[in-house]
Structure 1
Amino acid sequence: MLQLYGYARCSTCREAKRTLTEAGADVEFHDVVASPPDETTLRRWLKRSGRSIEDFVNTRGTVYRQRDLKRAQFTEDEWIRELTRDGRLLKRPVLETPEGDIYVGYHEGAYRRIAMGGD
């Protein structure tokens, strides 16, 4: 089963879920605003994706701008702490496959391929 992490009120996240389900995938949705990912989940994503923590930060979001986090010189651990406190800081959606692949952001064609079992 695919694990989709997003915000229930986000139109992009809803579209991502719709794309996956219409293509026949079983999807479990996790609302990161209601329940932000924990440290273990974030570290797993980092390890499996090969990406930096900054790739998981929603730099276009309201919270990021309101808190002026562009100026922040956070370490990876500090970013992880911030993301576990406020799911609105997480770039979304994040898709995790049963094989452990991690995808950050929504790309319709890629999601259709993933849903149909291809990459």
Structure 2
Amino acid sequence: MEFYGYKKCSTCRNAHNHLKNGGIELDFHDFVVSPPSVDTIKSWVEAYGEGVMPFVNTKGTRYRELGLAQKNLSDEEWLTMLSNDGKLLKRPVLVTDNGVLVGYDKAKYDKLISNQ
């Protein structure tokens, strides 16, 4: 499993620790320090199956600073923006063999732990 988040984000740290404490080994990729490529994000979007918007951190400071709520961007424009600025990505993103989880959902993480 691959874990993508932001090291300074307490939610990301809690989610990562939850999985580690449950016996799941994974690497922490800080996507603010090193944002994922457009192709990587596109693969997440396709695996998740609900479009690009679930991956946009609409509650984040950067989203508000850039006035993105008032903009009507295409999926390709979003993908480019997300790959250029990791703070625009909703976090954490967990890539498993069976798909992608976006955000920290304790129940879904517990299910992953129990199914290992």
Q: Give TM-score, length-normalised by structure 2.
A: 0.95
The aligned residue for residue 104 of structure 1 is 102
- Following TM superposition, where does structure 1 have runs of at least 4 consecutive aligned residues deviating by more than 3 angstroms? none
Structure 2: state its 5+ residue gaps.
none
The superposition leaves residues 43-93 of structure 1 with CA deviations (integer Å, 9 ceiling, x where unpaired) of 111111101111100000000001110011100000000001100000000
- The CA distance in 2 between the partners of 1:90 and 1:100, in whole Å, is 21
User: Using a 3 Å threshold, how does the CA distance of structure 1 residues 57 and 70 change in structure 2: closer, same or farther?
Assistant: same
What pairs up with 1:1-119 in 2 under 5 angstroms? 2-97=1-96, 99-117=97-115
The Cα shift of 1:100 comes to 4.1
SS of the aligned residue for 1:5 comes to strand
The number of residue pairs the alignment matches comes to 116
- Alignment RMSD: 1.0
The Cα shift of 1:27 comes to 1.1
Amino acid at match of 2:19: L
Q: Give TM-score, length-normalised by structure 1.
A: 0.93
SS of the aligned residue for 2:33 comes to coil
SS of the aligned residue for 1:74 comes to coil
- Say if 1:24 and 1:116, in contact at 8 Å, map to a contact too: no
SS of the aligned residue for 1:103 comes to strand
- The CA distance in 2 between the partners of 1:21 and 1:9, in whole Å, is 18
How high is the sequence identity, in percent, across the aligned residues?
A: 41
